[in-house]
Amino acid sequence: MRLDGKIAVVTGGASGIGRATAETFALAGARVALGDINEEGGDAVAGSICVRGGVAEYIRLDVTDPASVDAFRKEALEKFGRVDIVANVAGWGRTEPFVQNTPEFWKKLIDLNLVGTILVTRAFLDPMIERRSGKIVCVASDAGRVGSLGETVYSGAKGGVIAFCKGLAREMARSNITVNCVCPGPTDTPLMAAVPDKIKDAFSRATPMHRLAQPSEIADAILFFASGHSDFVTGQVLSVSGGLTMAG
């Protein structure tokens, strides 16, 4: 699957699934505008891509801040001229019983996982509509499909991402813009590294393939939805979870 000549935005690109997505897109031939709040990490990833012959620019981005999203959009368009693909990968979560959550914690979860996706998508949509061409891929979570113990509000936010993708896919179909959603299961990312080993072991035991996903495996699914191989696929949700969740 190639993305030659395409320009892609990847949010959350400084680490984890976002980093793997930026690297995968660049390897497939895309020029990448990599957004993240982590400036040091974002610069390092962009530099690593360029050293290997790819094209990537790090641009600071706080997906929860409309002003930051607008500045990111302007700089990305100044550097690359247009955007063909938007991969909304930025997100965050922490396992904690719902009854121990604070309203501030709820807000952070919803802003990072749902509102940020909406803000970034909206920022790049108008030129896609004018060109009648574009690919939007959002990363949700299987927690948003089936719920997850200790991640109740996170599950709700990711469920919102799934519903947002389906609704937007219906609106954008007439403009030849596809909108799809990838739902990772437990994945070996820096966020997962903070999870106690006994919980990680439980995830692996519960997964039919008996291991965590690698970020590159999630990125491959995102690449499919970003490529021409999915031109007649929209409004779909793909779980990449080693069989942990199976839906008819």
Q: Is 19 left (phi over 0), alpha (psi -120 to 50) or beta?
A: alpha
Alpha carbon distance 10, 53 (integer Å): 18
What are the start-end ranges of the H helices in 86-115? 103-110
In the three-class reduction of DSSP (H, G, I as helix; E, B as strand; rest coil), residue 92 is classed as coil
Catalytic-role residue among 58, 154, 164, 225: 154
- Give me 134's structure tokens: 């574009």
Other beta carbons less than 10 A from residue 177's beta carbon: 21
Question: What angle is formed at CA 38 by the lines to CA 32 and CA 44, rounded to 5 degrees?
Answer: 55
CA of residue 35 relative to chain centroid, distance? 11
Tokens of 64: 């929860």
Q: 54-91 as b/e, with b when 16 or more CB fall inside 10 Å?
A: bebbbbebbbbeeebbeebbebbbeebeebbbbbbbbb
Catalytic, 58? Answer: no
Which residues are annotated as catalytic?
154
